[in-house]
Structure 1
Amino acid sequence: MNLIQRVEEAAVLYGGGTRKNIGEFILKEKSHLYRYSIQEIADATYTSKAALVRFAKELGFSGWRAFLKAFVEEQKYQESHYTDIDPNFPFTAQSSRQDIINQICSLQVESVLDTADLLDHAPLDEAVDLLKRSRRIGLFGISPNSLLGELFARKMLSIGRVVDIPVQGTFGLLASALQKTDCAIVISYSGNSGVKETGAILPILQGAGVPIIAITSAGENLLRSAARYTFSISSRERLYSKISTFATENSILYILNVLFSCYFARDYEANLDRKLHTSQLLEQERRTTIPALLEQKKDLEHG
């Protein structure tokens, strides 16, 4: 996860009053945090300099100064590489329809371009090799990631490759059924939750030697450390405080589309022939089904 997401996670999930106050102040003043002295932040959050140092150390830094340096650098990078559209709140109550159209368009284009910049050719080729040779492919993600996974599974099915997606509550069953000759695609934005099903299956997959392809946010997390190959989501969104996952969903879908396309391209002619043949069969079935349904409707109307 990015540092700002780790701050939010620390404040929301693991924080009491002190952590919450510090985390909320950092999130509110993120672009101007460098202007405050440690004493001014302690006063504003009704805490102490020692509490700020502890907060920084809990995030893996030696102290507040080291945390502040890393945080400011991250914010400068974000502000210099992207427009001023807030991915968490890309529109307001006062936004016109045209404003919303333009903001969402720009946000999604930025998300795809950012994701493309993060894609590394070598791991991509190796991940496709893994998908090709795997006996079975399992895809794990909680909603809405599972819905994006279903689009990927449908595309793969159109060229004869089955991707298993468990319903919530059965993640462990599928994970336990996979072997080292299979592979798992695990989608998790934070990549750190051991209590959610996507995190709980990691020990099962690792214990069975199942290679993992991870789709997760940038920065170190549990999923990334467990995966053989990792693809980074464009991760400027906060974990919780946002209208929706506009940029994240677009980024995940783009990664899955790239994986499918690279897989398809390995046997382009054979896959294209199969895809066209399947489409023709489905179209023929549709043509025979619709007249039958119309006839059935007519019988019911005159029955």
Structure 2
Amino acid sequence: MDIKRRMELAEGFTPAEQQLAGTVLALGGRLHGLTIKELARAAHVSIPSVHRFCKKLGLEGFKELKVEVARAEEQQRHSGDVDINFPFNAGESADAVLTSMAQVYETTLADTREVLDGVELDRAAGLLERAASIDIFTQSHNLYPAHMFCDRLLSIGRTATCFESIESQTRVALAADPTHVALVISYSGLGPNLATILPILQERGVPTVFVGTRRGGQLNPGLNVYLHVSDKESLQNRITQFASHIAVQYVLDSLFCCLFAQDYGASFEFLERALPATALPALRGTELSPSEYASVMLNRLR
């Protein structure tokens, strides 16, 4: 993880260190021309605070900070990073758009993989595996990957809910208990449903998994598991939610796979039992028996 990313994440930073991180990130390459005294003045902190900040980042001192920031700036210039929020320009060809969107996917997936903790993902899957019901709470564009995740849970015999209206979500939360698990999806942590639903879930003792940016998680403390996604997308200054959609989809797909893997036998058995009953109507008239049909379809899934 490069120095700029560590400053962006601001893990365990004090308010003064957060102020320093923001100042250094804003300065970028201009940091090289500043003295430690000038940086401290620009960030409105003391010189000892700058020394502690460098130590927090695992650096020997201010000189090494300048070297690492310069290195990160150089890498960014040569990486051809795509603008996550505006990945194409007016009149660009299809080939150019295809290249840019591939970069959006690659950058977002790599960044999400970097901030997503595998131990936490396993913990979340364990909570889901033991749950009597998995209740999904989200809004806006996140409803699309949420509904797909809900359908996948149903496909392996899990009881799951995913409602669009805040009223319905509120009723689900009120009916939940500690045997349920809540999956809350909010990139920013500012979803309009959270202020109503999270207090109810906590009062009802419902284990809760949060999927969103690290900052979004910090805005909603006290939950059981946090699954972080890439936070490079602006909340408003963008064409649309390309990166956040990709990041959330990646996390939910990974969570489903971990859940399936934790109880592979039962999940596979339910798929096998369900396939003949859920086959497309045009395929139900085949000469294969239900078990033979299931075997063929499952072999395709392997």
- Common fold, TM-score beyond 0.5? yes
> Does 1:242 pair with 2:219?
no
The letter for the 2-side match of 1:106 is: Q
Give the Cα separation in 2 of the matches to 1:234 and 1:269. Answer: 33
How far has the Cα of 1:111 moved from its partner?
1.2
Does the C-alpha gap of structure 1 residues 131 and 140 become closer, same or farther in structure 2, counting only changes over 3 Å? same
Contact 2:29-2:70 at 8 Å conserved across structures = no
Contact 1:214-1:223 at 8 Å conserved across structures = no
Contact 1:90-1:104 at 8 Å conserved across structures = yes
Q: How many corresponding residue pairs?
A: 246
Question: Which residue does the alignment assign to 1:101?
Answer: 98
Question: Which residue does the alignment assign to 1:159?
Answer: 156
The partner residue of 2:254 within 252, 258, 277 is 258
How far has the Cα of 1:224 moved from its partner?
4.5
Contact 1:218-1:232 at 8 Å conserved across structures = yes
How far has the Cα of 1:267 moved from its partner?
2.4
How far has the Cα of 1:190 moved from its partner?
1.2
How far has the Cα of 1:74 moved from its partner?
9.1
> Does 1:267 pair with 2:263?
yes
The letter for the 1-side match of 2:268 is: L
Question: Which residue does the alignment assign to 1:123?
Answer: 120
The letter for the 2-side match of 1:158 is: S
Give the Cα separation in 2 of the matches to 1:237 and 1:215. Answer: 15
Does the C-alpha gap of structure 1 residues 247 and 220 become closer, same or farther in structure 2, counting only changes over 3 Å? closer
Alignment of 1:58-73 (within 5 A): none
Cα-Cα RMSD:
3.8
- TM-score by length of structure 1 reads 0.68
Question: Which residue does the alignment assign to 1:204?
Answer: 200
Alignment of 1:35-54 (within 5 A): none
Does the C-alpha gap of structure 1 residues 208 and 74 become closer, same or farther in structure 2, counting only changes over 3 Å? farther
How far has the Cα of 1:210 moved from its partner?
1.2
Of stretches 220-229 and 242-251 in structure 1, the one that deviates more from structure 2 is 220-229
How far has the Cα of 1:127 moved from its partner?
1.3
Question: Which residue does the alignment assign to 2:183?
Answer: 185
Does the C-alpha gap of structure 1 residues 100 and 267 become closer, same or farther in structure 2, counting only changes over 3 Å? same
Contact 1:87-1:247 at 8 Å conserved across structures = yes
The partner residue of 1:227 within 199, 223, 226 is 223
Give the Cα separation in 2 of the matches to 1:121 and 1:4. Answer: 20
Contact 2:188-2:213 at 8 Å conserved across structures = yes
Contact 2:28-2:69 at 8 Å conserved across structures = no
Q: Which runs of 5+ in 1 are unaligned?
A: 6-25, 38-51, 290-303
Does the C-alpha gap of structure 1 residues 207 and 237 become closer, same or farther in structure 2, counting only changes over 3 Å? same
* Identical amino acids, percent of aligned pairs: 28
Does the C-alpha gap of structure 1 residues 247 and 287 become closer, same or farther in structure 2, counting only changes over 3 Å? same
Does the C-alpha gap of structure 1 residues 30 and 287 become closer, same or farther in structure 2, counting only changes over 3 Å? farther
Question: Which residue does the alignment assign to 2:84?
Answer: 87
Contact 1:211-1:228 at 8 Å conserved across structures = yes
> Does 1:114 pair with 2:111?
yes
CA offset digits 1:49-96 (Å, max 9, x no partner): xxx98xx8xxxx89xx98xx99x9999868847642110111110422
- Structure 1 segments, 4+ long, off by >6 Å, are 2-5, 72-76
The letter for the 1-side match of 2:141 is: P
Give the Cα separation in 2 of the matches to 1:190 and 1:78. Answer: 26
- TM-score by length of structure 2 reads 0.68
Alignment of 1:210-221 (within 5 A): 210-219=206-215, 221=217
Give the Cα separation in 1 of the matches to 2:106 and 2:92. Answer: 20
Q: Which runs of 5+ in 2 are unaligned?
A: 1-5, 10-22, 35-41, 58-65, 286-302
Give the Cα separation in 2 of the matches to 1:212 and 1:76. Answer: 40
The letter for the 2-side match of 1:174 is: V
Does the C-alpha gap of structure 1 residues 100 and 275 become closer, same or farther in structure 2, counting only changes over 3 Å? same
Contact 1:224-1:230 at 8 Å conserved across structures = no
The partner residue of 1:145 within 129, 142, 147 is 142
> Does 1:173 pair with 2:171?
yes
Of stretches 110-119 and 152-161 in structure 1, the one that deviates more from structure 2 is 110-119
Contact 1:214-1:230 at 8 Å conserved across structures = yes
How far has the Cα of 1:100 moved from its partner?
0.4
Question: Which residue does the alignment assign to 2:298?
Answer: none
Question: Which residue does the alignment assign to 2:300?
Answer: none
